[in-house]
Amino acid sequence: MATTLVSVDEYLSTSYPNGDCEYVDGEVVERNVGEIDHGSLQTRIAFYLLMHYPQFWAAVEIRVQVKSTRYRVPDVTFVAGPRPAGRIITAPPHLVVEVLAPDDRAGAVQEKIDDYLAFGIPYVWVVNPRTGRGYVHTTEAAREAKDGILRAADPAIELPLYELLGK
């Protein structure tokens, strides 16, 4: 299968009909989006963070430039500060959340996690809505949130995953 490479400028100026795509080293990469369970959990996570941490900023599906040739679109982005300036996040946020979709592949998810951590994002939360499990990834380790609470430090942020999943 042939791949057509596009420039960063072309990627940034294009609207994608099935939701925003990611950009990885010249390739436009589609994301698995659009399902009710996925979108509902994504919204509940962002809403919880906004309501419980109003001094900070959170949003869904915002482009994050993790390298000059890579743009990722996390399901939820949380900045421990005010709303970022500009159209794209270019400084590491405090944490990002990836909500797994049925078609997500382990290798592709791990590549995103690696990009986020290499960019300097301290916490990457990965949530599997089908199993009800959540995982916290840092540069030091990856661990399951066995008690159902996803956590980040400096500032301290907690998200009761079981409560949001109705478990």
12-71: pLDDT as tens digits: 777 765 567 767 877 777 766 667 788 889 999 999 999 999 999 999 999 999 999 998
Percent of the chain at pLDDT above 90?
66
Q: In terms of Cα–Cα distance, which of 74, 66, 51 is closest to 127?
A: 74
Note the pLDDT tens digit of each residue in 111-165: 999 999 999 999 999 999 889 999 999 999 999 999 999 999 999 999 999 899 8
Give the Cα separation of 29 and 123 in Å (integer).
23
Is-contact 94 117, C-beta < 8 A?
no
Report the pLDDT value the prediction gives residue 63, as an integer from 0 to 100: 92
Q: Which domains does the chain have, with CATH numbers?
A: 33-165 (3.90.1570.10)
